[in-house]
Structure 1
Amino acid sequence: MAKKRTPMNKIKEVLRLKYDCGLSNRSIASCLKLGPSTISELLTRFKQSQLGWPLPESCSDADLTQALYHVKKASRDKVMPDFTQYAVELRRKGMTKMLLWKEYHEKTYAYTQFCENFTRWLKTQKRSMRQLHVAGDKLFIDYCGPRLQVVNPDTGEVREAEVFVATLGASNYTYVEAFPSQGKSYWLEAHANAFEHFGGVPQLLVPDNLRSAVSKANRYEPRLNDSYQKLANHYQIAVMPARPYKPKDKAKAENAVLLVERWIMMRPRHQTFYTFKELNLAIRALMDELNLREMKQYGASRKALFEKLDKPALKPLPKQRYLYTETRQAKVGPDYHIEYRRHYYSVPHQLVGHHVELEASNRLVQIYHQGNLIAQHPRSQRERGNSTQPEHMPSHHQHQKWSPGRLLNWGANIGPATREVVNKMLNAKPHPEQAYRSCLGLLNLSKTHGESRLEQACKDALMLTKPNYTFINNLLKNNREGQLSKDKANTPNLVHSNVRGPNCYH
């Protein structure tokens, strides 16, 4: 084993302490934590080199090393291999350094020196490039930290959009898409969309430890979410979540996320998007631009490397796309609707009071009764909205058990204010049956809080023009009924010279 050389900074310090400070060899050894024999050998070599002290300004570290150790300078005739191209080639499945060396035409380096030079070059590259990923092997997955926004054109409500990023290890080819949340259904849909965009499936998924992927994080044996495991089984993929507190495991994903945040998410920041489809069309154009941009360290674009490396190595897609569905049991309300994710979907009115089974994906809601499909609706993201099909309505908008007249009579028995609130709730919907659920909820508050308190709360709601179940329920829960009327009655009508009139404001 070759003796390890003394670092150049210590060699210069030995010379300085000897010739500037006049210290003995043993004192120098003690100061620098070196052996006396090492100091003696260095000073002997320096004397033999015929260099003077102080060193000439033109004497570089390489010159001093050559003078002390008689290192031969590398021949200028030797042609250094194109290690950038070799780094790309090594990402091919089955490629070896030995094969590349044999194909290296200017064989001025032995195989060992060739490997050492390549390793030395690799250490000078960025961390993400130093990890040589085999083509078609790994797909790194993460979400961006910042969010984009989607505005409801009717209500002005702003929804935050989560940006999903998936990057293939060998080519850095990147897929980007925005979703309403990081929820399980969107997480799985994003994977299926990415696989279809790539036109194939990798061997291994490397996600972060988010809840949609990992139910219990662990450095050695992370427990995958059941639905994520089903997706992996469907596509015949292995899943290896990044280890907690190990940033090198997901360096490729973090670099891709950073690029997406800078080159995709910042570009449309002055635009307003009204649907996720509109937002994703803008993202797709910027994503294609990113993948076509040349990467300096490779001398090629992500798209070009994808076509050359990853695409041929990906496994084929299965015949059927993976579709995640959530199954629930529900009871049909008196308004012939069932609730799913705070939205109401209609079923045939004959099934009021029956139990049905619901299967929901991100695109579709299907409702079954005794194994038979009875209703099908496009999935809606609008909270407290209704999806009603006309054929599900009863004739003349009446129901065997409940009717507007019966609900109004119940309200009248409690008090005139309660009846008026019920009437306004019935008239607020295109069809009275759509308000049955809210009216029944309101009237049933009399069983919990008493009829007199409900009547007073309805008076407050009418006075403040808020005749709805949510407002009245909150009044009763917080014991605030009657208080709002008193507050308004006690508010003085200030009329004096210091009060400005409407003419003061323009």
Structure 2
Amino acid sequence: MLHYSRILRLRNEGFSLRSIASSTGNSRQKVTEVIERAESKGLTGPLDEEMDDKWLEEFLYPEKALESSGRQPIRFDYIHDELAKPNVTLSLLHHEYEAECRVNNTIPYSYRSFLRHYSNYAAKYKATMRIRRKPGEIIEVDWAGSTAFIIDRDTGEKIKAYVYVATLPCTQLSYAEATLSMDLSSWITAHNHMYDYFGGTTQIIVPDNLKTSVTKHSLQDLILNPTYREMADHYNTVVMPARVGAPKDKSSVEGSVGTISTWIIAALRNTHCFSIEELNEEIRKKLDEFNNRPFTKKNGCRFSAFEEEEKFALSPLPSTPYKISVWKTAKVRPDYHISIESIFYSVPYEYIGKQVEIRLTEHLIEAYFNHMRIATHKRLYGKFGQFSTHPDHMPDNHRLYIEQTPEDAREWAKGVGEHTESVIENFLKNSQNEKVALKAIFSLKKSERRYSKYEIERASKMILSMTKRPTVKALQTLLATNKKNDIEKEAVQRSQKNKEKYGFIRGAAYYGGRETNERTDTE
């Protein structure tokens, strides 16, 4: 057996690799390998008395203990790293191990022995045992049963503070935060801070069946709170609530709740804080102490285990944290608006009378119909009765009115003709105010539904020849008169064409007229 303890002791005293090799009778390559293995497993500093050569060999080379059995050794480090990958199980790894043994003509361990040896290895040398939990797979969340408190500066009254707890089951790293309420806003805000603390997201989040997370949970149906579901989508994670009456579904956080109640809540029982911010500062200090407390039976602590065993498996956070939203329903009014807190927002007029879902955030209002977004508005605050109306949501006649401006009026008149331009300029110049002029122009523009641009231009030319102060009513009367005259004239022309087409072509003499009489007189 190598003199492991002597190699490590001499290295700790500062001897060179050449000197250590000469003193122990081993090659420099072997001495280097032993020292590197010890450093990779965190074995530094003076050795304890119990760390003899046998103990060190089992610690540095656990696979050597299996070589004497005549079976192919198990590569424990490889097994442990592979188990961190999605969908990789011990049964799959044992199958691959057996295939490798067949290729090498060696005897494999049975699955039960394979499982036992890995469990012994993980329990002794690793902070986590990946048989039960994979890194980066699950976060369990809940409210602690015990409460903290803050003190009101004015009355001295103790105000309850509820403690939110989250745990990563793989490494048992925990997060805690105090809030003044257990409402939806506090629940979502605590989740945002938790993800920021862990520095990433997991595949699954396991909450309890709280109203802030689950609307309905039965054997047939699982309906999540819309806001909580939206938050999970934002962080690209899946919500899998614990079964009703089954606390073992989130056993890690249940255990952490009890531990945190002792090491954080109870530890702060004599600390007086006057705001929730002060309380959370104290909780963060105790939380860091808790996550950095050494394990009793393993090397390291929760935080070091997380850094080494789980941080790499977390999914990256989105570029911005989730912004809380509230969902409501509203009926579209006859004026194609919905009322939110006595402020009115438009939706397309086709949805009048329909029930729509409303998503409210701090800055936005979004309307959905059958899960399809139909309208978006900037959220308004302040006095009641305000309107936010998009022109695209209005019927054509309403939009035509609302979009009326002097520039639009001139542009329209330019497309009709120069005389119409003169009429429009006259309205804008001689009306009492711009609003009256625009109203008159709007009435004239509506005439385009009944009359062609030629007819409007002709009437404008005629009205300008009659008066220097034309009015909309006079112009509309002239349009109607011209239209009537055109219809009558067209009727006369059509009648004449019919006579020319179907009239008699024989003269009067044919029917005994003048020509016949003249012949009679001659006779």
TM-score range, shorter chain: 0.3 to 0.5
Normalised TM-score (structure 2): 0.44
Normalised TM-score (structure 1): 0.46
